[in-house]
A and B are shown apart, each in its own frame.
Chain A
């Protein structure tokens, strides 16, 4: 087999209701604090569902310093650019580039990829047309004639799903291979997988990857509620009383590099990307196969890609979104893949809310933290394991991983499943 480059994490950034960095979010999770609270963004007093994991107390300038950009960015972009900036700073690649010759710099930029996983848009962005609709009083002719006087000329640019991709590129001069994935929940983690594969295949030497979303949108909430996906008071994965998920908002980002490039510049390596697998269940937007079929294949593909067997997995970060069907089929799938015993399982949405396109990347970042700390964080909202799912190794208390690799599961609308496997710390250890 030809030796394909190994891909390592050399920078991390994150933001969500639970904190303004991977470390803050990790500490919040470890302390058992959840960001899920009564909604504050709008008055939800009369709403049947009034909880979300909102990010509070952070103004736009904290997220993106350059005020000129604000009129061209929506909230999801601000979150994404914040996390990406952190990951890039943390990695030290820009400082490294400063020491290169002009020719080396040009090559460095052409070999620096950027991948984003984006929520793709909100209902809310269309509301900028509401004053115009009111003024037009049903006349399309007036609507067309007045649009330039009523709506921000930058409206489209503010709402491009690939905004974070372009602004990361422009802001840092990265010009390599790129992609922006809009595949609902799995967008972010699919961006990580595609970036890692681009590096393995020699298309780039490094890549910035961001997953970002701002799903706490009134109409989205109404619709999630209407299709029965939202929890009333807390997100309780795998619990007897689980009644749905909770919407969140946030972003997470990584700098991925070849191991050789990271070692050559003396970078600190936070972990290694070992493999991934992805499948669709072909069941339409909302339905999930109860037998976990698509997820089973995705995990087995990830194991094969990582050249590992189930016994090598030290812990699992489950999708654990708290809905009746997803949690149950996830347990079924894990039982099938790990007949000899499932390693300790946790999930993070109880604390972060479901950040949709960002969720898988946040989970990956926290998985690396968990492996580094050798702690599988407990799920405090779990009161009693659903007996239909028992036995299943989840707990309210912290546990210890049984090895140094983590399997991270991400699932989404459209029957999408993505499984990724990472390992913490310097890959030279234990080789």
Chain B
């Protein structure tokens, strides 16, 4: 069971009071439903009819809810608080395929994207070497960076080109919303913190109405029914667009990487002793998402994926309980029965949403950096991370570069997240070339054991990307072992220090010619330190066995071998 961080009130497996679950579920569901603006944009761009748009949105909401529910359930999903929103990565695919072949072609392409995502999820467990913490960290950081554009446009009320007559009332609403959320999240306790996002959004909305930047409801709003049966369609399936198939496959891969980023962020937030990504858990979340995406495809809707904005809400409210996510999923499904409610959500001021996105982006950028820095960084890793982030920023800062590439490549190159993650994965694999998982050096009695252990293990830790805390624990224990063997003469003159790393364990073996030492199971008397060489060796051997996670005595050919294991 993961150890709960001090800033989390209710962790993944905990059960908040029912009232708290409900209110937090409403916060998450409301935020998620605000993003139906993405399928609305796609439908408008593609010129869908009113009826087709209704089906497009309703199917999206229902399967967002179902996917959220399944992803949150511990047995069938991830057991984490993951909340779905319409998948922004699907926007280019939806616009192009809806325009080229209508809902049937988008349904076909969406199905292909889901299958490519599902295929990747089947192998994700075997891809541990492809997704070390620094690659996951790049993905999480870029999730935050990717939120910057939509967040800041909403903060400043920018809908098209930036003009000199910027209306600062939008920014004022965003700043007030953001300050309230941050102050409540940092300085308050109890209910105020749990409802930080809702309180901030409510205050921001009221201010937007007061200063006159809240959107007015459309005339048709009054005609929407409070309760109505949701309409799903069956547009058929079309796969007849060879030009769009690569884009569909790439969209599926981007969605899987996006999901991986959000899952790792939640794992990290929920576990004070987080060590590495639980790829099995990520695979289950992605599978639940793909099954929902298949349902969305055949019922004529827009695909969804887990929300990075929800991670910001979880952090602000100090609650990562999966039950909250499950309730928000049920609420989303229920919301599909109320056209009036959905209509109401479309008039929440965009500058309020902008503030929530800024909060989430800030959290994700730092969470990604934390992941990157959780491991020792060699020159190779520094350039893997640095170049990957620069590549992601390049397409964000210079989108013109993307426009000169072949059309089929543009969906992947438009996304800073996918470009940065792809570069990180490729550089990580290239830079692994030539790194052996085992290294050794001789230590003589003239050398200082602590200095030698520090230099050797830190250097290897950098090359292997080992965790800083594990290397820091190993150094004094190994130095103690070397000092004991050489100073007592148990290892006459010199020994070999051999380190091995396999992600699960950091092993250091001390190999020497001489007599084996005995490791007592009970602590010897401190007086043994004043005894002969074997008495000192026994005493130190006992200490080593307690300070390393495991001590193994054996032989290596004709040599004695003392192995100190540190779990990684």
Q: Are the chains A and B members of one assembly?
A: no
What is B's interface to A at a CB cutoff of 8 Å?
none
